[in-house]
Amino acid sequence: MNPIPSLAFRKCFVIQGSLTGGGYMACFDLTDEEWVVIEPLLPKRGRGPARRDDRVILNGIFYILRTGASWGDLPERYGPHAHCV
């Protein structure tokens, strides 16, 4: 059984206060349950410049994949588009 519900069948709605900083969560953003599964699979922080919030970066990538928008049209809440590519 897949521990992560399919993103394809998730209803698209916006929830206030679900992301860090009390922002908004859209249908393509990772839920808390999905993040608990994915976070341990990501590499640990290493040398070099500090990375941005991995969850925000992944949500930005999912936004582009789900909407088909160009990187330049990435909403500001996901950070600069150069951080997601």
Burial of 27 per CB tally in 10 Å (0-12, 13-18, 19+): middle
Q: Is the pLDDT of residue 17 over 80?
A: no
Higher-confidence residue: 35 or 80?
Answer: 35
pLDDT tens digits for range 19-73: 445 556 677 788 889 999 999 999 887 777 777 788 988 998 998 898 898 888 8
* Residues facing 16 on adjacent strands: 24
CA distance 35 to 30: 6
Neighbouring CB atoms inside 10 A of 63's CB total 20
Higher-confidence residue: 4 or 38?
Answer: 38
Q: Where are the domains of the chain?
A: 14-34+50-85
